[in-house]
Chain A
């Protein structure tokens, strides 16, 4: 069974008949639009944001068509919903192949690929050195990655001899994988993808076939392992100085728009909405949009100054009770809440 199906059913279920199939597609692809970002946060699907950037429209449509034909989902107008049969199929598949727990697209989507590309090219280089070979076909052709790795070696070689570097890098990797194993994560998922001297790595399809898994399941598993590794390296940078240096991002990409960032700066200076609005000659509504944007993207941003805790709780309860993220429905059930408050609270809901 194509693992895309249960993933898709999961998303549809979470969107409880309030979003279209395109919303699911953009979520998995990681489209950086205000709408998709809001969907990911309000409907509690941050971990699935941008976990399948390589997904083609065609493959997605095929999976949707199958799910519809089997009556696992219903599509009415612009909205998709899950059926009882769909819930069963999804539960059954996730029972056998759970959604990898360490998947966190929201946090790592701009690091995971880079980290893998750097790691694989560095390992290949060290392996070739170990065999006294300086000429080889790089597994990563991206010119920017190649340059990054070259610079990395230049810097690191000031501190290590080739032999020391090979020893230290191997030791860190070995320790990392051993710890993964002790947490019941299978290091083979990663290790067999690595390329060494005259030892090309396996492709995702090959590994999936050897495990008799669906390709998409392997794809998600691999990605979740990379997320696990990056998180671990960032938490324990002292224990993994070399590997940690690959998991660092020099210029993290921000979800915030430029204008939103500006508003954020004023907020940090303690300015009120009215004052920012006047200073920036922008409507109050626009500044409020920015604040929602900030609430969505910055986990440390507190909405308490804008919404009283009691009201926060009421909005929360209403949204859960009605199982909705539609502003209008919440507002109807809770007339005392204004739209700005509802949006802020939805942006801070537990995932």
Chain B
């Protein structure tokens, strides 16, 4: 690449994104992509992954196709691009109404940045439409989803290699924040990109102190939580495994005037999600009580702490979630509250994601009784609401697996085998998390070792083992939660800038 072109990158960076300089890794990855190389990039959360394909979009002749597993994340990205003036971005996913979908497909050539969910790529119609346009870059976001060894395996991802070929073999950019060696090998294998250039940047975030606090039981854990929330400087995120607990805790924090707090999870409708995200962004909310549904795609720089009320099911998820703290580079804190009862709960969560043997057998009997014709297989999934005894995740998995089988007589055995394998992997993952929690030694070192990394240097306020001075993180202003007093004339005047 010549000097002139390098200048161009910085120019585009400023013109389109209003940044004056690249963050670590971004430029190298962009240059690799522009050279037409298959690229595998491992960048920690919050380091600006999306820029690595958005910026090349302004140089490459054709469209950028981005596969992303999370619909809400996809929509956030598209909205963010629209906000900065890019109108040629669109998200193709199951949330589109039929009218919207047909509009988008008719005008596909208009779009430069096409986000798509892996399920959508299973549709022949969509593949055909994609074949009609020029695709210059095929981006696989959260690429670890392709691997059985990844913490978030998604079978649909396995088809992406084939789809790449159908789409005219454009270069690939595979992005992830967390992938060990095994996972990286799988990514390259399944996407047919063995020759890919790899860019791997440390998952370590020096400014985040890592701490595990043990409690004897649930009640003690709860009091510790309120104590921390009352002392620590916000804003902060509290992560829960249960929506109900997130709701209740937010209410309790507000009752004790430690907030303002709100709860955020998948049950909220889109308008509520936007309002809460914005309130948090503008520091009107101090604490967000959330499930893992909250965080991705939220560009808030000044999050001062993350508290996990339940341990995540994998080290990867944990690292992703604590990585949302301190994006401004300032001192931040990650606390995991743990009591032995949690293990039981987490095991239940894992089991709840997979069908049991009894459920598989019952499912087979149900299929037999109903004698579905092949044309109806698509609709089996929709029958969920009428079926008792399965969680939605279990039901979908059963249906997906069944409809994809070629030899249906072997379905029950194959399904059971699959479940066993997944359980083994998930338990292995959970055990890693637990070994981290119980680790007697530097916690940061332990975390890094999961990703084949070493701790480079001693860090001040490193972890609970090396020592953390909690007074650094306390709220010195002792800001008290204000009571809102309703004054509609004032509020309306503010909205319309009348004063």
The answer for the CA separation of A54 and B125 in the assembled complex, in Å, is 33
Cross-chain contact A135 with B83 (CB below 8 angstroms): yes
Q: Tell me, yes or no, whether B124 is within 8 Å of chain A by CB.
A: no
Q: Which of B25-33, B222-230, B270-278, B344-352 contacts A (4 or more CB under 8 A)?
A: B270-278
Q: Is A309 among interface residues, defined by CB-CB distance under 8 A?
A: no
Main secondary structure of the interface of B (DSSP, over half): helix
Contact B274 A139, beta carbon cutoff 8 Å: yes
The interface stretch among B373-381, B432-440, B490-498 is B490-498
- Please encode chain B, from 386 to 415, with 1 for each CB lying within 8 Å of some chain A CB and 0 for all others: 000000000000000000000000000000
Smallest CB separation, B494 vs chain A (Å): 6
**B-facing residues in A140-195 (Cβ within 8 Å):** 140-144, 166, 169-170, 173-174, 177, 186-188, 191-192, 194-195
Q: Chain B's nearest CB lies how many Å from the CB of A35? A: 19
Give B103's nearest chain A residue, CB to CB.
A143
At the interface, yes or no: A206 with Cβ under 8 Å from chain B?
yes
Per-residue interface assignment for chain B, residues 472 to 499, with 1 indicating a CB less than 8 Å from any chain A CB and 0 otherwise: 0000000000001011110110111110
CA distance A127 to B274 in the complex (A): 17
Task: Choose, from A42-50, A197-205, A230-238, the stretch at the interface.
Answer: A197-205
Given contacts A54-B269, A170-B498, A200-B278, contact A141 B484 (CB under 8 A): no
Judge whether A86 is part of the interface by a CB distance below 8 angstroms. Answer: no
27 contacts between A and B (CB under 8 A): A127-B497, A135-B84, A136-B83, A137-B83, A137-B278, A139-B271, A139-B274, A139-B278, A141-B270, A141-B274, A142-B270, A144-B99, A169-B496, A170-B498, A174-B489, A187-B488, A188-B487, A191-B491, A196-B494, A196-B495, A198-B282, A200-B279, A202-B275, A203-B272, A203-B275, A204-B272, A205-B272
Contacts of A194 in B (CB 8 A): 491-492, 495
Instruction: Give Cα distance in the complex from A170 to B488, angstroms.
Output: 13
Complex: chain A residue closest to B486, CB-CB: A188
In Å, the complex CA distance between A54 and B385 comes to 16
Q: Is B142 an interface residue (CB 8 A)?
A: no
Given contacts A144-B100, A166-B496, A188-B488, is CB(A137)–CB(B274) below 8 Å? yes
- The chain A residue with its CB closest to the CB of B84 is A135
CB neighbours of B85 from chain A (8 A) = 135
Enumerate chain B residues within 8 angstroms of A241, measured Cβ to Cβ: none
Q: Is B241 on the interface with A (CB-CB < 8 A)? A: no
A143 touches B100 (CB 8 A): yes
Q: In the complex, which residue of chain B has the Cβ closest to the Cβ of A116?
A: B271
A-B contact sample (9 more), CB < 8 A, given A141-B79, A141-B274, A210-B486: A120-B271, A123-B495, A135-B83, A135-B84, A187-B488, A196-B494, A199-B282, A200-B278, A203-B272
Task: Decide yes or no whether B209 CB sits under 8 A from chain A.
Answer: no
B275 close to A131 (CB less than 8 A): no
> A177 CA to B486 CA in the complex, in Å?
14
Q: Is B301 an interface residue (CB 8 A)?
A: no
Report whether B492 and A203 are in contact in the complex, using a CB–CB cutoff of 8 Å.
no
Q: Which of A127, A137, A187, A192 is in CB contact (< 8 Å) with B79?
A: A137
Residue of A whose beta carbon sits closest to that of B90: A143
From residue B475, how far is it (CB to closest CB) to chain A in Å? 22
Tell me the complex Cα distance, A300–B97, Å.
35
Q: Among the listed A127, A135, A136, A210, which residue makes an inter-chain contact with B495, where contact means beta carbons less than 8 Å apart? A: A127
A191 contacts across to B, CB distance below 8 A: 488, 491-492
With a CB–CB cut-off of 8 A, which chain A residues contact B498?
A: 170
Interface residues on chain A, number (Cβ under 8 Å): 44
Distance to closest chain A CB from B192 (angstroms): 35
Q: Is B431 an interface residue when CB atoms closer than 8 A count as contact?
A: no
Tell me whether B494 and A200 are in contact (CB under 8 A). no
- Our pick among A139, A169, A186, A199 for the contact of B494 (Cβ within 8 Å) is A199
Q: Across the two chains, which residue of chain A brings its CB closest to B485?
A: A210
Residues on A close to B: CB < 8 A?
54, 57, 120, 123, 126-127, 130-131, 135-144, 166, 169-170, 173-174, 177, 186-188, 191-192, 194-206, 209-210
Which residue of A has the minimal Cβ distance to B270?
Answer: A141
| Least Cβ–Cβ distance between A145 and chain B, in angstroms | 10
Does B75 contact A195, Cβ atoms closer than 8 Å? no
User: How far in angstroms is the closest Cβ of chain B from A229?
Assistant: 14
Please give the number of chain B residues whose Cβ is less than 8 angstroms from any Cβ of chain A in the complex. Answer: 37
Inter-chain CA distance A177–B425, complex, in Å, is 59
B442-499 CB contacts (< 8 Å) to partner A: 484, 486-489, 491-492, 494-498
Of the residues B271, B276, B495, contact of A199 by C-beta under 8 Å = B495
A166 CA to B497 CA, complexed, in Å: 9
* Residue in A closest to B490 when the chains form the complex, CB atoms: A191
Interface membership of B73, Cβ < 8 A: no
Q: Is the CB of B492 within 8 A of A127?
A: no
| Contact indicator A141/B488 (Cβ below 8 Å) | no
**Residues of A contacting B100 in the complex (Cβ-Cβ under 8 angstroms):** 143-144
Query: Which residues of A have CB within 8 Å of B96?
Result: 143
CB contacts (< 8 Å) of A201 on chain B: these are 275
A192 with B495, Cβ < 8 A, contacts A141-B274, A200-B278, A200-B279 known:
no
Q: Does B262 contact A (CB under 8 A)?
A: yes
Q: Is the CB of B251 within 8 A of A139?
A: no
What residues of chain A lie closer than 8 Å to B385, measured between beta carbons?
A: 57
A203 B262 Cβ-Cβ under 8 A: yes
Query: How far, in whole Å, are A202 and B274 apart by their CA atoms in the complex?
Result: 11
A195 CA to B277 CA, complexed, in Å? 13
Most A CB within 10 A of own CB, among B84, B282, B284, B489: B489
B267-301 interface code vs A (CB 8 A; 1 in, 0 out): 00111101110110010100000000000000000
Find chain A residues with CB under 8 A from B494 CB: 196, 199
The docked-state distance in angstroms from the alpha carbon of A201 to that of B282 is: 12
- Determine whether B320 belongs to the interface, using a CB cutoff of 8 Å to chain A: no
Which residue on A lies nearest to B85, using beta carbons? Answer: A135
Chain A residue, CB-CB nearest to B385 = A57
* A130 shortest CB reach to chain B, Å: 4
B492 and A170: CB pair below 8 A?
A: yes
Residue B427 at the chain A interface, CB threshold 8 Å: no
* Closest chain A CB from B299 CB (angstroms): 11
How many angstroms between the C-alpha atoms of A143 and B484 in the bound complex? 33
State in angstroms the CA–CA spacing of A177 and B491 once bound together. Answer: 12
Closest chain B residue to A188 by CB distance?
A: B486
Closest chain-A Cβ to B74's Cβ sits at a distance in Å of 12
Q: Does B254 contact A (CB under 8 A)?
A: yes
The B236-285 residues at the A interface (CB cut-off 8 A) are: 251, 254, 262, 269-272, 274-276, 278-279, 282, 284
- Min CB distance, A292 to chain B, in Å? 31
Closest chain B CB from A45 CB (angstroms): 25
